[in-house]
Structure 1
């Protein structure tokens, strides 16, 4: 009976250890993959920024730190099998790393390698795959990642995507603001121009009305002599503006002593000696 109990207890302990082992290792080496609605060139440029930023996130080698600095980009790496499924493959390496966190049983010095694969699916759909591995220098043994590095690196990519989208939103908003401001300035200029034209038209109308009113208070007359000098001032020695012929019609605007201020049919004004005119009754 006691032996049977011991067997059962041992079996339970074995199951518990097996379950814990399975839970501990079930995510190692899975990598990270996501489909994004981004133009290929735009996403590739964003991934290149992360590849060249000199940091590997999601792992560390010293307590109190949360990432590895001193990383460098690379075109190739033998840490992973050759990629044959298409797309652009980029690498970020951090050599001379001691026992980096979040890699299975990493207890030696080696190189942390992150691989990024950007695969076009459609003109506006891209698959991004990120994998991380730790490769020992001494035994050339590789240690799989538990996903922390891949997730953290994607967070960096995602943050840059959001920054780019926010810049685009701000750029569009600024462009719209500038366009609206230009339109407002154009409308204001048009309004100012039309206002000036309206003011000029009103002034012209007022001038015409004044002329009409002036004509309403004038008296018609005609030149009674063979000719009549239209003078600039009411005296004989004044300069002659025009020589009016006999029977030319004029409008008498005013009278000063023996001179009439008149306006001819062509709009010219001046002074004519009164004996040269015949005022209509």
Structure 2
């Protein structure tokens, strides 16, 4: 099966309108390209729930804080199209920046609350860029379902919030983080790692797992997080931007593990910023009882 490449929103909407007349369910998987197995797992999940799947490819300049980072972002549309054809996606929607942000464009979608802290602190304006382009892509595709990966967990919350607040009639479905065999969360940025850095990178996920286990055993949150941050630096990472325990449902800060929680981290390895997260299991009742005693 070939995947049609569409670049103009009017053409996309014409195709979607025809699908609608047939009564078909439509899903969208927004991406910035440089596709890997994490993206393709979302495509497969979308194909399992919808009749037609659109994958968007747009390297969004408004969500980059650094011009060099934007310039260095991999652009592999030809390879991406081949992967999507093999996966069975129906359309690759790859608009130009001038079409997404035409001359005179003056609107920004800003989501409060869940965009604050974590990556929001270290990448000012990033989530405004994400929210603006995602809003446009959801409206342009007119899809019934949209699939996002849990690796960008704060982004997932931002998207859910904007859809709820703006009454966009679409269901947001999360796909689990896909990892390499050694545990490293798959990311387009991994390609920037040197061989030595790539060998060290899996320690981030290993330390997250160990930290989550310690938290679930009832150990003191502040001490566990402090020691985990030291372990990340000792593993060869140059900087830990944040390592925090947040509520899984709304990213609220928590000081007691008394509700489903998520451990989130951002750390620099050389010139590459890596993020990851892991769900933290609640302590067993006997552990909570012992801690209270």
Normalising by structure 2, report the TM-score: 0.22
Normalising by structure 1, report the TM-score: 0.22
More strand by share: 1
Between structure 1 and structure 2, the one with the greater Rg is 1
Higher relative contact order (CA 8 A, sep 6+): 2
